[in-house]
Amino acid sequence: MPQDPQPIYGGQAVIEGVMFAGKHVNVTAVRRKNDEIVFYEVPRTTKPWVQKLKKIPILRGIVAILESSAKGSQHLNFRWKRTQRTNMPKKKARKDARLRNRKANPAGASA
């Protein structure tokens, strides 16, 4: 008796979280500084012209790299925006502020 194919899921680590790809959805789960877990869910959509390109052997790899890079960047941007950066130690916050001020007002620049 033929069996239905098992669903295939893949995933990778994201800083302070994990990203999973399923058949219909890509999901990223991130732990915030207050231990809250937030999710970013994106339905997988395929455009007909991309599907046609995936049938050509050399272009298949290029399209796969471009797709995964775009999706990975989208999920990493979510991670960056959702992770609270306000809880850094005061000493580091002061150092970061000094660096920003130096970049904004380089030495020797007239005010």
Q: In the chain, where are the structural domains located?
A: 10-104
Give the closest residue to 17 by CA, choosing from 43, 44, 35.
Answer: 35
Reference 45, options 17, 12, 78, 23; nearest CA is 23
Q: In what order do the strands lie in the sheet with 17-21?
A: 10-14, 17-21, 25-31, 37-43
Asked if 82 contacts 32 with a C-beta cutoff of 8 angstroms, the reply is: yes
* Digit-coded pLDDT (tens) for 58-67: 888 898 888 8
User: pLDDT tens-digit profile of 31-77?
Assistant: 888 888 888 888 888 788 888 888 888 888 898 888 888 888 887 78
